[in-house]
Amino acid sequence: MTNVTIDGERLWGTLMETAKIGGTAKGGIRRLTMSEEDKRVRDWFKAACEAAGCTVTVDTIGNMFARREGKNPDLPPICMGSHLDTQPTGGKFDGILGVLAGLEAIRSLDAIGYQTNAPIEVINWTNEEGARFTPAMMASGAFAGVFTEEYILSRTDREGTTFADAMDAIGYRGDTPLGGRKLGAMFELHIEQGPILEAEDRMIGVVTGVQSIRWFELTITGAAAHAGATPMPARRDALVGAARAIEAVEAVALAHAPDGVGTVGILECRPGSTNVVPGEVFLTIDLRHPLDEVVARMEEDLRARLAEIQGRLEFGLERIWVSPAVHFDPVLIGHVREAAERLGFRHRDIASGAGHDAVYTARICPTTMVFVPCKEGISHNEAEESTFEQCAAGTQVLLNAVLAYDATLEG
Integer Cα distance of 83 and 308 in angstroms? 41
Known binder of ligand: residue 380? yes
* Cα angle 306, 311, 314; round to 5: 70
Integer Cα distance of 249 and 215 in angstroms? 12
Integer Cα distance of 4 and 2 in angstroms? 6
CB 118 within 8 A of CB 69: no
Q: Hey, what's the torsion of the CAs at 348, 352, 357, 362, to 10 degrees? A: 70
β-strand partners of 276: 226
Residue 226: C-alpha distances to residues 211, 237, 272, 282 (Å): 45, 11, 12, 20
Integer Cα distance of 136 and 130 in angstroms? 4
Half-sphere exposure of 167 (CA within 13 A, CB side): 23
Amino acid identity, position 84: L
Query: Residues in the chain, how many?
Result: 411
Burial class (CB in 10 A: 0-12, 13-18, 19+), 311: exposed
**Beta strand pairing status for 267-270 and 280-289?**
antiparallel
Known binder of ligand: residue 259? no
271 upstream amide cis, omega within 30 of 0: yes
CB 349 within 8 A of CB 208: yes
CB 166 within 8 A of CB 385: no
Known binder of ligand: residue 356? no
- Number of neighbouring beta carbons within 10 Å of residue 329: 16
Amino acid identity, position 359: V
Known binder of ligand: residue 83? yes
Query: 187: closest CA among 174, 202, 200, 204?
Result: 204
Q: Which parts are annotated binding residues for Zn(2+)?
A: 83, 94, 129, 190, 380
Q: Which parts are annotated binding residues?
A: 83, 94, 129, 190, 380
